[in-house]
Amino acid sequence: MKAEQLFHDIMSLGEGPVWDKQTMTLHWVDIIKGRIWQHQFDTQKTVHRDLGQSVGMCAVAQSGGLVAALVKSIVLLRDGQVLTLVDEVELSLPDNRFNDGKCDAAGRLLLGTMNTKGKTGQGALYSLEKYKGLRMLLDGISISNGLGWSPDNQFLYYVDTPGGILWRFDYDLDRGELSNRIPLIDYSGEEGMFDGLCVDAQGCLWVAHWGGYQVSRWDPQTGKKLQSIALPAPYVTSCCLGGPDLRTMFITTAHNEDEKVRRDY
- Using CA atoms, how far apart are residues 85 and 62, in angstroms rounded to an integer? 15
Type of residue numbered 58: C
Compute φ and ψ for 262, nearest 5 degrees: -60, -40
Active-site pick, 95, 139, 195, 264: 195
Q: State the SS3 of 159-224.
A: EEHHHCEEEEEEEECCCCEEEEEEEEEECCCCCCEEEEEEECCCCCEEEEEECCCEEEEEECCCCE
Nearest Cα to 156, choosing from 138, 141, 143, 140?
Answer: 138
Residue in 122, 124, 115 with CA at minimum distance from that of residue 158 = 124
Strand ranges across the sheet with 177-186: 144-149, 155-160, 165-172, 177-186
Q: Catalytic residue at 195? A: yes
Supply the residues annotated as catalytic.
195
